[in-house]
Structure 1
Amino acid sequence: MIAVERTPLAVDDAAHVKASPAVLGLEGQYSGWVEVEFFHPDPSGDDWIGVFSPANFSAAICEPENKRQYPPVLCTAPIKYQFAKFKNDGYSKSGKGYLKLQLINQREDFSFALFSGGLLKPKLIAVSNKVTFVNPKAPVYPRLAQGKSWNEMTVTWTSGYDIKEAVPFVEWGEKGGRRFLSPAGTLTFDRNSMCGAPARTVGWRHPGYIHTSYLKDLWPDSMYTYRLGHRLPNGTRVWSKSYSFKASPYPGQDSLQRVVIFGDMGKAEADGSNEYNNFQPGSLNTTNQIIRDLENIDMVVHIGDICYANGYLSQWDQFTAQIEPIASTVPYMVGSGNHERDWPGTGSFYGNLDSGGECGVPAQTVFYTPAENRAKFWYATDYGMFRFCIAHTEEDWRPGTEQYKFIEHCLSSVDRQKQPWLIFLAHRVLGYSSNSYYGFEGTFEEPMGREALQELWQKYKVDLAFYGHVHNYERTCPVYQSQCVVNASNHYSGPFQATTHVVVGGAGASLSDFITSKIQWSHFRDFDHGFGKLTAFNHSSLLFEYKKSRDGNVYDHFTISRDYRDVLACSVDNCPRTSLAS
């Protein structure tokens, strides 16, 4: 139940809020800018404008049930908000203000409301006219993901059309070639699927309908175009704009293959407005740098803490809109983190409130992953010469568990002659980090992390392990049992010695401090926003680069040169048993 107090109204007939234009998306756009003009005869410095969707909202106050509920403390959480004095220097005297705000198509109409009393004791002063998109239900925000086979691409998108209203499908084909129609399955979820507040209460907003289509039997490296469609009962079709992608290479194929990896990016507002969980200042820089370099990127892996909605569900729309130029063009593979899954009493390995009551449902529905069980969120995916084993740190990974068996199977089942580059990924740092809170614990890792898994990494010769969760960048030497097996370098050659561990959790969220002392396995640390990029040139040459989000330049890098015989060679704790027989 929501604890509702009386609605504090201070509506003033002399006050007003006016928004224009009233209709957006006249040329099919899924976003648009609105000019909001307002007047309050009795202004104060803590007046603010809230953006609400649907346009009819509750201005009643709902007291927070837990620490994951934040101000403004309204029973209907605004999509976002901005203080009336923002870029309106004379507002406190004149009461007149003007804001330019960006809206995205979120299946419903919008209104803008002026409040006094600040965020903790909001009093409604005036509400604007309604603003809507031409077709609020239009198909939007396509996100590609690799399917369960190498020659399959999945397309997932959001719309306002229930399957009873319209039939979803994708029209697609090779560029300039024959067109195909592929059906799409449809999922959604309701408030009862949420595990707690705010997701189940003030932060609830219907997610729309999530459609996924499977484009099969693709030709390796071929260019395809596609568009999203819905067939209405009268036979007319509603279309998205056209998009394109390049099909994945055959596993083991020798060609240039480039993958961007990061965690903890989140989202931010291009118009400078505020939102719940507004602590991802590097998010837009990272997004824009990736968009700028997109022609040199084949796939993206976002390893958990995806958008930090934390129970304010409208933000999943905001995130998918932000990454649309990326995710509509290259596979956008996601992992799950604490801010997607964790909630007390729901089976998550950690019993905290970090998901804001979402308990994994939006993440596993809004994004497709080629997992056997999308709720468990661990899976393998191949891209050419790469094998990626993506773990789920919010479920138990220790020996004897279902996930441990998956990890060992993923690492052991790859043919290293064809796919020499074996990569392990997880949200929390199961390897090594000199982040301050791990240092305070004295673990320099997620407790029980490497103790459970380091023998697998060493046995199966995992080249690199990537993590998020810690909001900075750090690279180790090739390390095993907390010892550098070889000294850190910018170039490694010859037989595998040990796994290099890389924290790339600085894609957007507020930065995490390092401990002040230097640890011998920690080679390069950066307290800044950034992301990683892997480039496989061929079966013998791999490049890793760390780029800052502020400028896209490379600040750390290393290469690996290794032939197949070097993969077969034995090092510490990974020599196979042999026979004396000849």
Structure 2
Amino acid sequence: MEPNLILTALFLISAAFTVVTAEYVRPQPRKDLQFPWDPKPSSQPQQVHISLAGDKHMRVTWVTGDRSAPSIVEYGTSSGKYSSVTQGESTSYSYLMYKSGLIHHTIIGPLEHGTVYFYRCGGQGPEFQLKTPAAQFPITFAVAGDLGQTGWTKSTLDHIDRCLYDVHLLPGDLSYADYVQSRWDTFGELVQPLASARPWMVTQGNHEKESIPFFKDGFESYNSRWKMPYEESGSSSNLYYSFEVAGAHIIMLGSYTDYDEDSDQYRWLKADLSKVDRHKTPWLLVLFHVPWYNSNKAHQGEGDSMMAAIEPLLYAASVDIMFAGHVHAYERSKRVNSGKSDTCGAVHITIGDGGNREGLAQRYIHPSPEWSVFREASFGHGELKIVNSTHAFWTWHRNDDDEPVRSDQFWMTSLVSSGCVAERRHELRKILISP
């Protein structure tokens, strides 16, 4: 047996879930996707994906087998006519018997908002095209976590592809490589059609850690392949960062790095919130992996310590929505804080139902908590359309026998428009200036 497979057997813990009766009869689990060997020239760009990299800039990431391949991106607004070229950087890593290809990261820009660009990586290979997000509302986010590489993953991606979204938000657990590094490569190929055309903004989950005590630090594969704009947002770690798009300020936090009040992450979060201008970005969103409000029996209590440390700060900052994954099901809360409904709290949405191989978390606590509005153990994805500075429309789409079904939907108003931001401004200022 290969060393990677041995490690996988040692580190994976299988979970068994009891099926509960519900109106919706869930389809059977689907197997991992198979990726037949497809030899390509070593210099041909593979696993292409893009991410936002500061104001009017985009990071293009790809992999080549050729370690001498250049990290250049040619781009322009006409197909086959590249008016600009940018040189980037490259990296690689080793993991036991595995050696990654050359991973290229190149930032292009400045780019115009709401514009289609054609681009080519490394001076050869196929042409890709991307569309930059608009400068103003409306803007649409696709949201799906815990993706993996199963038949259900493919169904989720197909449904997202039909959505006219501007940015994909992923609250952790991408490839489910789980120490088998070749699965990072197949995941990169699987998501390339979508991730090369619209920016994917991700944060880490437990399946990205891949640490081996006394031998390998965690998150090396993730950090090497999915570089996010942490430096651009003043963070010292790729595990937490922020970015702005249209009228939304979005914060990506790390559930698996220190988050107490003495941590670098907490200090960075305070500094980041101090720069948020709710006149410019009236909507404030936060993503992390482990949910704080969860009425599923899976992963109960795992987010409590992070919630205790950070919720008071985010409540004072009047965060509108918090997205999480980890629990393989969907759940939406009322506006909530300190464990109970609060009209100035955040809406919490658990959306760890992208299609992973571990299956659905089908056991819930009964009766449901008073703050829980909708919950269902089904694979799917969400779409958040922020219409203007005051209103947004959220929908969750169940993957029902390969047909996208809108199973949950609601309109929400921003905390700016409700007066909560102004009401809590003094409290926020007091927390931000505290040592």
1: CA distance, partners of 2:294 / 2:245 = 28
Q: Once structures 1 and 2 are overlaid, which stretch shifts more, 136-145 or 362-371?
A: 136-145
| 1:473 corresponds to | 330
Match of 1:185 in 2: 89
Provide TM-score, normalisation by structure 1: 0.64
Q: Is the 8 A contact 1:458 1:573 kept in 2?
A: no
Number of the residue aligned with 1:138: 44
User: Shift in Å at residue 409 of structure 1?
Assistant: 2.6
Alignment partner, residue 131 of structure 2: 246
**Aligned position for 2:407:** 555
Counterparts of 2:270 and 2:326, CA distance in 1: 23
Structure-2 change in CA distance of 1:179 and 1:532 (3 Å): same
Inter-partner Cα distance in structure 1 for 2:370 and 2:426: 21
In the alignment, which residue of structure 1 is the partner of 2:30? none
Q: Which string of whole-angstrom CA distances, capped at 9 and with x for unpartnered residues, describes residues 252-308 of structure 1? A: x3x32111122111113xxxxxxxxxxxx5211111111232xx1101011111111
Other structure's SS at 1:322 match: helix
Alignment partner of 1:501 out of 303, 327, 348:
348
Decide whether the 8 Å contact of 1:104 with 1:321 is kept in 2: no
Task: Identify if the C-alpha distance between structure 1 residues 565 and 519 changes in structure 2 by more than 3 Å, giving closer, same or farther.
Answer: closer
Q: Structure 2 residue aligned with 1:175, among 78, 85, 93?
A: 78
Partner of 1:324: 192
Which letter maps to 1:369? M
> Whole-Å Cα distance in 2 between the matches of residues 311 and 267 of structure 1?
15
Amino acid of the structure 1 residue aligned with 2:347: T
1:129-528 equivalences in 2 (<5 Å): 133=39, 135-147=41-53, 149-163=54-68, 166-175=69-78, 179-191=83-95, 200=96, 204-230=97-123, 239-250=124-135, 253=136, 255-268=137-150, 282-293=152-163, 296-341=164-209, 343=211, 345=213, 359-372=218-231, 376-429=238-291, 431-439=292-300, 443=301, 446-486=303-343, 497-509=344-356, 510-512=359-361, 513-528=363-378
Distance of 1:244 and 1:142 partners within structure 2: 11
Report deviation, 1:390: 0.3
Match of 1:545 in 2: 395
1:16-95 alignment, distance < 5 Å: 67-68=10-11
Tell me, in whole angstroms, the C-alpha distance in 2 between the residues paired with 1:547 and 1:343.
Answer: 34
Change (3 A) 1:171 1:394: same
**Is the Cα–Cα contact under 8 Å of residues 387 and 419 in structure 1 kept in the other structure?**
yes
Q: Give the whole-Å Cα distance in 2 for the aligned partners of 1:64 and 1:404.
A: 33
Which residue identity lines up with residue 74 of structure 2 in the other structure? E
Structure whose residues are more often helix by fraction: 2
Q: Which amino acid aligns with 2:57?
A: E
Moved more, 218-227 or 565-574: 565-574
Answer with 1 or 2: which has the greater Rg: 1
Q: Unaligned stretches of 5+ in structure 1?
A: 5-57, 71-99, 106-132, 192-199, 231-238, 269-280, 347-355, 487-496, 578-582
Match of 2:382 in 1: 532
Unaligned runs of 5+ in 2: 14-32, 431-435
The residue type paired with residue 557 of structure 1 is: Q
Q: CA deviation at 1:531?
A: 1.7
Q: How far did residue 382 of structure 1 move?
A: 0.8
What is the rounded CA distance, in whole Å, between the counterparts of 1:415 and 1:541 in structure 2?
18
RMSD over aligned Cα atoms: 2.8
> Percent identity of the aligned residues?
24
Change (3 A) 1:62 1:576: closer
Amino acid paired to 2:107: Y
Is the contact between residue 150 and residue 249 of structure 1 (CA under 8 Å) also seen in structure 2?
no
- Superposition TM-score, scaled by structure 2 size: 0.84
